[in-house]
A and B are shown apart, each in its own frame.
Chain A
């Protein structure tokens, strides 16, 4: 067993960029430089995706033509299993993504591969694979190994490895998909209805509020503060789920990414990993939280441990006096 197999992720005809991050992850974490890196394209028209994975670090692209146009868990599980049987890699990488949530654990449980999810670092030490993930709400790091496992499946955290940019011309081969009984079938994609005219991805200064605001009646104070200081008001998941702000203002994995943001003021946000996925890249993050142990302080440049209402009030007062 040797080599790394990457299962590419695509959606609506386009490669998801996290796939290329896995190529860098494979480069960094493989057992030996002689270990080859193969990327499998499991799609209705896999050839169309070939150019997007023809990058440095990929030795081989394996196209697997399947009947399903969109992601279906049974298809990905069956094809990945067949590829592992045929290619016998020592390591298989998938993204820790919503699609992979749907099949990776099933594949590992059925075949008893070594398995860990949300891995952000891995390496071989004396031929033994060690993977690191977070624990207890990311407050600790957990190093795991896979005793006795010849094949390990890792779901790798997105936005952790920098994707390679240099184009290359890897070998291309095709693989015949096994028969699949699709017990879960794709119907359609539904875009989030625009309930608000705000574009969080374009906002340069965001004031984001989270669970710490306590109740709906408190949203108004922060809406006013945002207006006063010239910020766009955003939020973390619980606020959107509760309907206190529209979903279009949610920052994070299942919300928007603060792409253009340069200053991010997080108030009452503890810093769940799904929220950080949408904003941890911002160059200046200021976090205000009553809990000194909140994970947001580990990625923020500036931190204030205080009651968010007191700070909001003081900032509003200070700003009105001086501007």
Chain B
């Protein structure tokens, strides 16, 4: 029995950053990389199923990204994932979530897991699309924004709750194998111990090329994508009026604002 967990090495902007010369992304030097927050929760959910199971469960993590994405995979290995797979090729550059889903689906066909988890969305571009698109390409049942899951490894169906707007929960039943996108708060992700971090550094990461997956170049990158970035820019935003001064001066100004509200409300 196997669970595949799709993870992403996300990018956050440094305090100061510059837009690339072609105007279509931020200059890579200004990006701070980390494992996507949502993926911490989907890995944890897979680990809990593994640990509660009476039969062996293998947790495999997959990431589409260049060599520096190994860092995200090592984090997952340190938290207990059994194996890690990374897919990269220069042709993947410029892929949208749908092109990325083609690759995750190709890995899923190769690995044949009984369950596939992905984060609801990534913290950088927040498409909320990759996991569900992967399911479509595999023709698997799928559900998004799962905050509670009852699943016995190998079972033909699972019961889950998805979290709707306003906090309402919707309980559903899904046929397996399935793709579920996992929401923050479904569990409390563990921390990796120093010892396991050290051990993870020595574990192998399987690196696959497009050819090894049997995915043509045209299925990824811009030609495999359903949208194309034309331009990235810093918006002219409303900027807050900044309150300056010592903490006491700022607190006094804050108090004035609160008093003005209290006066208006009275």
Contact residues of A with B, CB < 8 Å?
11, 16, 70-74, 96-99, 101-110, 112-118, 130-131, 134-137, 139-147, 149, 183-192, 204-205, 229-230, 237-238, 240-242, 247, 250, 253-257, 262-263, 265, 273, 284, 286-287, 291-293, 297-306, 310-311, 313-315, 317-319, 322
Nearest CB of A to B167, in Å: 4
Residues of the B chain whose Cβ atoms lie less than 8 Å from the Cβ of A73: 142-144
Instruction: Decide yes or no whether B216 CB sits under 8 A from chain A.
Output: no
Residues of the B chain whose Cβ atoms lie less than 8 Å from the Cβ of A238: 184
Residues of the B chain whose Cβ atoms lie less than 8 Å from the Cβ of A256: 166-167
Q: Is the CB of A306 within 8 A of B240?
A: no
Instruction: Decide yes or no whether B239 CB sits under 8 A from chain A.
Output: yes
Q: Told that A186-B170, A315-B254 touch, could you supply 14 new A-B pairs with CB distance under 8 A?
A: A70-B170, A105-B98, A109-B132, A115-B98, A115-B129, A140-B26, A149-B226, A189-B168, A205-B261, A253-B165, A304-B243, A306-B250, A310-B247, A318-B252
Nearest CB of A to B133, in Å: 4
Instruction: Decide yes or no whether B208 CB sits under 8 A from chain A.
Output: no
Q: Is the CB of A145 within 8 A of B226?
A: no
What are the interface flags for B148-183 relative to A under an 8 Å C-beta threshold, 1 for contact and 0 otherwise?
Answer: 000000000001011111111111111100100101
Residues of the A chain whose Cβ atoms lie less than 8 Å from the Cβ of B234: 139-141
Residues of the A chain whose Cβ atoms lie less than 8 Å from the Cβ of B237: 298
> In the docked arrangement, what's the CA distance between A115 and B136, Å?
14
Residue of B97, B128, B165, B264 with highest tally of chain A CB at under 10 A: B165
Q: What are 27 contact pairs spanning A and B, CB under 8 A?
A: A73-B142, A73-B144, A101-B181, A103-B132, A105-B133, A108-B226, A117-B126, A118-B127, A136-B125, A137-B12, A140-B232, A141-B234, A142-B125, A146-B227, A184-B142, A184-B178, A185-B172, A189-B170, A190-B169, A204-B265, A229-B258, A241-B184, A255-B166, A284-B257, A301-B240, A303-B240, A304-B243
Residues of the A chain whose Cβ atoms lie less than 8 Å from the Cβ of B135: 106
Return the 4 tightest CB-CB contacts between A and B, nearest first: A303-B240, A106-B136, A241-B185, A314-B251
Instruction: Decide yes or no whether B48 CB sits under 8 A from chain A.
Output: no
Nearest CB of A to B206, in Å: 25
Residues of the B chain whose Cβ atoms lie less than 8 Å from the Cβ of A299: 238
Q: Is the CB of B255 within 8 A of A184?
A: no
Instruction: Decide yes or no whether B124 CB sits under 8 A from chain A.
Output: yes
Q: Is the CB of B185 within 8 A of A105?
A: no
Residues of the B chain whose Cβ atoms lie less than 8 Å from the Cβ of A187: 159, 171-173
> In the docked arrangement, what's the CA distance between A190 and B255, Å?
41
Residue of B15, B168, B171 with highest tally of chain A CB at under 10 A: B168
Contact residue among B128, B238, B254 (Cβ-Cβ distance under 8 Å from A311)? B254
What are the interface flags for B223-266 relative to A under an 8 Å C-beta threshold, 1 for contact and 0 otherwise?
Answer: 00011111111110111111100011011101101100110110
Instruction: Decide yes or no whether B11 CB sits under 8 A from chain A.
Output: yes
Q: Is the CB of A303 within 8 A of B242?
A: yes
Given A101-B132, A186-B172; A143-B231 close (CB under 8 Å): yes
> In the docked arrangement, what's the CA distance between A313 and B247, Å?
9
Instruction: Decide yes or no whether B101 CB sits under 8 A from chain A.
Output: yes
Q: Is the CB of B226 within 8 A of A183?
A: no
Given A106-B135, A192-B169, A304-B254; A143-B229 close (CB under 8 Å): yes
Q: Which residue of A lies closest to B16 (CB)?
A: A293
Instruction: Decide yes or no whether B123 CB sits under 8 A from chain A.
Output: yes
Nearest CB of B to A91, in Å: 14
Residues of the A chain whose Cβ atoms lie less than 8 Å from the Cβ of B159: 187
> In the docked arrangement, what's the CA distance between A11 and B142, Å?
19
> In the docked arrangement, what's the CA distance between A141 and B247, Å?
34
Q: Is the CB of A237 within 8 A of B226?
A: no
> In the docked arrangement, what's the CA distance between A187 and B159, Å?
9
Residues of the A chain whose Cβ atoms lie less than 8 Å from the Cβ of B170: 70-71, 186, 188-190
> In the docked arrangement, what's the CA distance between A11 and B167, Å?
13
Q: Is the CB of B133 within 8 A of A109?
A: yes
Nearest CB of B to A12, in Å: 9
Nearest CB of B to A142, in Å: 5
Q: Is the CB of A237 within 8 A of B185?
A: yes
Instruction: Decide yes or no whether B13 CB sits under 8 A from chain A.
Output: yes
Q: Is the CB of B174 within 8 A of A136?
A: no
Q: Is the CB of B136 within 8 A of A102?
A: no
Contact residue among A97, A107, A284 (Cβ-Cβ distance under 8 Å from B136)? A107
Instruction: Decide yes or no whether B204 CB sits under 8 A from chain A.
Output: no
Contact residue among B141, B226, B250, B252 (Cβ-Cβ distance under 8 Å from A184)? B141
> In the docked arrangement, what's the CA distance between A241 and B130, Å?
24
Residues of the B chain whose Cβ atoms lie less than 8 Å from the Cβ of A192: 167-169
> In the docked arrangement, what's the CA distance between A146 and B96, Å?
11
Instruction: Decide yes or no whether B43 CB sits under 8 A from chain A.
Output: no
> In the docked arrangement, what's the CA distance between A242 and B163, Å?
16
